[in-house]
Amino acid sequence: MKIIINGKEEAVAENATLEEIVASRGLNPGGIIVELNYALVKRESWPDTILRENDRVEILRFVGGG
């Protein structure tokens, strides 16, 4: 199925969880924030969050800024 990650369409396995998506990208879960369809998903809930077709995932982090 396809979902949108950070604005880009990507193909992922059916029933993939948020946890798997983050892990597959080699991201350190400590430093990022994940939003699913414009709602924040807490770190604890990532393994239980199953993705559906056309879901929008935003993976964000704090960076330097003024």
Partner 1 sequence: MADALKIGGRDLTSRLFLGTGKFSANRLIPEVVKASGAQVVTVALRRVDTDYQEENIAAYVPAGCILMPNTSGARTAEEAVRIARLARAAGCGDWVKIEVIRDNRYLLPDNYETIKATEILAAEGFVVLPYMSPDLSVAKRLAEAGAAAVMPLGSPIGSNRGLRTRELIRILIEEIPLPIIVDAGIGRPSEAAEAMEMGAAAVLVNTAIATAGDPVAMGRAFGLAVEAGRAAYLAGMPGTVDYARASSPLTGFLRD
The footprint of partner 1 (CB under 8 A) covers 5-7, 25-28, 30-33, 35, 38, 40, 58-66
52: three-class secondary structure by DSSP: coil
CA 30 to CA 3: how far, in whole Å?
A: 23
Residue 50: closest CA among 5, 26, 14: 14
Comparison of 13 and 40: residue with beta carbon closer to partner 1: 40
Comparison of 29 and 47: residue with beta carbon closer to partner 1: 29
CA 63 to CA 66: how far, in whole Å?
A: 10
- Min dist CB 66 to partner 1, Å, is 3
- Min dist CB 40 to partner 1, Å, is 4
